[in-house]
Each structure stands twice: as C-alpha cells, then as structure tokens.
Amino acid sequence: MEEKLMSLKNDAVSLILDASDEKTLEEIKLQFLGRSGRLTLTLKEITKVPLERRAEVGSLANEVKQSVEEAIERQKQILKHQTIKVRKQTLDVTNPGIKPPLGHLHLITQAMEEITSIFDKIGFTRVRYPEVEWDYYAFTALNFPENHPARDDWETFFTTEQTDSEKGQIILTPHTSSGQVREMERSVAKLRELARERSETGVDGSKDKLYSGPDLSIRMLNIAKCYRRQSDVSHTQMFHQFEGLCVGENISIVHLKGVLDYFVKSYFGENRTSRIRPYHFQFTEPSFEIDVTCGVCLGKGCKLCKAGWLEMGGAGMVHPNVLTYGGIDPKKYSGFAFGWGVERVLMMKEGIEIDDLRLLYSNKLEFLEQF
Ligand code: PHE
C-alpha cells in the first residue's frame, strides 16, 4: 500500500511539473483527485489495511494527497507568471499608443469664456450675482410696479410662499438684469467707504442720500443662469444671459452703440453689423431691441432671418428710477445696459445651427462631440 501511494505521488508530481497550461493541470487533478481518480480510489482501499497499521498508512495517504494538491497549486502560479512574462515580452513599445478619448468644455461654457474675454478687453469685469434671487432685485428695483402685468412677461419660477417685507419673494432669477442694482449698491458702498477712510468732505457717507460724489464708474458683465417657464425647440427652462452695465458721467447711447458694434465684430466677425430698434423695457429709457445681420445671407434676406436681420436681445439707457434704487444720483450719472442670451448668440454665430435648443442640455455625446 505504501509503495503504491509513493509511486502514485511520483507519477502525479512528474506529470504536474510537465504541465504547460492550466487545462492540462485540471486534467491531471481530475485523473488523481477526481471522484474516481487514481489517488481517490487508492485512499478508499485503506479500509483493507490491517487495523494496527491503518493509522500510519492513513497519515501517509493524507500527506501524499496534500503534496499532490500543493504541487498543482504551485505549478498554477508558475504558469500564471509565465503568461504575464510572455505578455510583457510581446508589448512593442514602438507601437503608437491608444489615445484615451479627450473631452472638451461644453459649448455654452466655451461661449461664456469667449464673451468674458471680449468684454474684458474693454474693461468690463465679470461678476456673479445670485441666481436664486429676491423679487426686489429682479423686479421692484428694476422699476416694475407691484402687480404690473409686465412681471408676467418673465414667467417666473417662485420658490417659496415666504415673503420678506422689503425684498419680497424668493425666485429663480428670470434675467441677469437682477445684477444691475446689486452692482450699483456694491460700487456706491465701496466709494462711500473710501471717502470715509480719507475723511473726504463733500461726500455724504449716509446711505439714505443718493451718491453724487466723484469717481463712480461701473463696467459690469454678469453672466448667469436664468429660469423661465418655457420649453420648446427655441426655449429651455434654464438658459444663460450675459448682462452688461456701464454707469458713469455723460454715458450716452453713442457708448452703447460703440460697445455693441465692438462685440458684434469681435464675436460674430468683421462682416457682421448691428442695428438698434425702439422697444420697451421697464428698466431702461429709451429701450431698444438689438439686431445683428444674418450670418447666412449677410443682410440680404433669406429663409432663416427677418429681411437680413436676427434679433439678439434687449438694451437701453438705465432708467433714472433704477439708478435711484441703486443709490446713484441720476442727475449726475447715467448709464446703459444690455442683456443677451448666450444660447442665442451662439446659435447666431456663423456655422452653428442647432435645430432644437434643448439638445444643448440633454448630455448626448453624439451631439456635443460635434463641437
Ligand atoms: N433683461 C431683459 C430680458 O431678459 C434684457 C435687457 C437687459 C433689456 C438690459 C434692457 C437692458 O429680456
């Protein structure tokens, strides 16, 4: 019995050491340790060994079984390392690599960066004001009388029923114009503080009086998400606007037109021009709608445009009441403001036509990868 066990062990181990792949190893395992494997059957014969020797033979049998199992495991590990080595050897470092797919900024983010840098060159600094805003800054301080039907134009989302006695309800801002009075308040507060520090005479430090001191100069660019109850091929509930505000002494429509032309040429190209058309907004007087020549027909008139023009958005001279809400004396200072849609200018830019604006926010890579 002992001899038989030892020879089985030798057979098994030599086969195992010769095995060159895992499949062969599995077969050897079955041949010796399987249900009717050679070693398994021999182990069953232990009952035939006389009782007094049975314990000794039994423990030898167990040792043999164990060494066969261990030999199989060891060989498995060896084979694994060999395959890794073989694989490593076949790696040809001179082959061109596989490029991981590179993403890019969303096209709206790209447009916002471009717009920011265009305005930065003429001194307009990008600011950020709340997108979840008080009714006060979005409407009241922009010269909308309470319950004025014009408030409905903006189809606003209201967030709570809560109302602050001064600032009203909390809304999702429907336009970036809500940054106008915030910017005025910030500039005036800064000038008042400076004047107090220098103990200047002639500048009233009190908040109740309108600011008519020197040095007030606002050049703001407010880019933000805006929200309105709308959703169709040319409107999304969330969209982006960029708002310019310029306040200073003797600011006139000429400055507005100059800035507008500068933007149109820089963003759309030298071959595009703009025009201003009378319009109405509560917070500007006079107010305008701004048109830009169509990128397809360059002003001649085509299917895409209204007789050569595409509408870009609103603008106007800041209403004296709005300056007053901002704490600025409208007798000394004047300004202009404009508010245009980022999505809209992007679509108006030559070469980019988006049939359905909602695609911009659907996160479909097939769409986004085109840009
Ligand atoms: N806030 C206006 C809108 O959303 C645009 C505008 C901005 C008009 C500034 C005049 C001045 O339509």
Compute the Cα dihedral for 299, 301, 305, 307 and give only its sign. positive
Cβ count within 10 A of residue 7:
10
Instruction: Report which of 265, 243, 239 is spatially closest to residue 360, judged by C-alpha positions.
Output: 239
Pocket of ligand 1 contains residue 180 by CB under 6 Å: no
Measure the CA–CA gap between 271 and 298, rounded to whole angstroms.
8
pLDDT of residue 207: 57
Q: What distance in angstroms lies between residue 308's CA and the mean position of ligand 1's atoms?
A: 23
Atom of ligand 1 nearest to the CA of 177: 1
- The 10s digit of each residue's pLDDT in 5-62 is 888 888 898 889 888 888 988 999 999 989 989 888 888 888 888 888 888 888 888 8
- Please list the alpha-helical segments (H only) found in the chain: 2-18, 22-33, 38-44, 51-90, 107-120, 135-138, 150-153, 178-197, 253-268, 320-325, 342-348, 365-368
Q: By three-state DSSP, how is residue 1 classified?
A: coil
Among the ranges given (256-265, 281-290, 359-368), the one the predictor scored with the smallest mean pLDDT: 359-368
- The 10s digit of each residue's pLDDT in 47-100 is 888 888 888 888 888 898 999 999 999 888 888 887 766 666 677 888 888 889
Residue bearing the CA closest to ligand 1, atom 12: 314
Peptide bond into 278 cis (omega under 30): no
Q: Where are the domains of the chain?
A: 2-89, 107-368
- Yes or no: say if 265 and 202 are a contact pair by the CB < 8 Å rule: no
Distances (CA, A) of 137 to 188, 212, 228, 288, 320: 16, 22, 16, 21, 16
> Which two structure tokens, joined as six digits, stand for 223?
């880019």
Q: Compute CA 62 distance to the chain's CA centroid, rounded to the nearest angstrom.
A: 65
Model-wide pTM > 0.85: no
pLDDT of residue 351: 59
- Give 179-196 as a DSSP string: HHHHHHHHHHHHHHHHHH
Pocket of ligand 1 contains residue 337 by CB under 6 Å: yes
Most confident of 43-47, 121-125, 353-357: 121-125
Q: Is the pLDDT of residue 171 over 70?
A: yes
pLDDT of residue 350: 64
Q: Compute CA 80 distance to the chain's CA centroid, rounded to the nearest angstrom.
A: 45
Q: What distance in angstroms lies between residue 276's CA and the mean position of ligand 1's atoms?
A: 14
The CATH number given to 107-368 is 3.30.930.10
Cβ count within 10 A of residue 364:
10
Residue scoring higher pLDDT (158 or 281): 281
Q: Is the pLDDT of residue 201 over 70?
A: no
Q: To test the ligand 1 pocket, which listed residue (137, 177, 311, 317) has its Cβ within 8 A of the most ligand atoms?
A: 177
Instruction: Report which of 284, 283, 291, 326 is spatially closest to residue 310, judged by C-alpha positions.
Output: 291
| 156-237-175 Cα angle (round to 5) | 50
Per-residue pLDDT band at 343 (split at 50, 70, 90) = very high
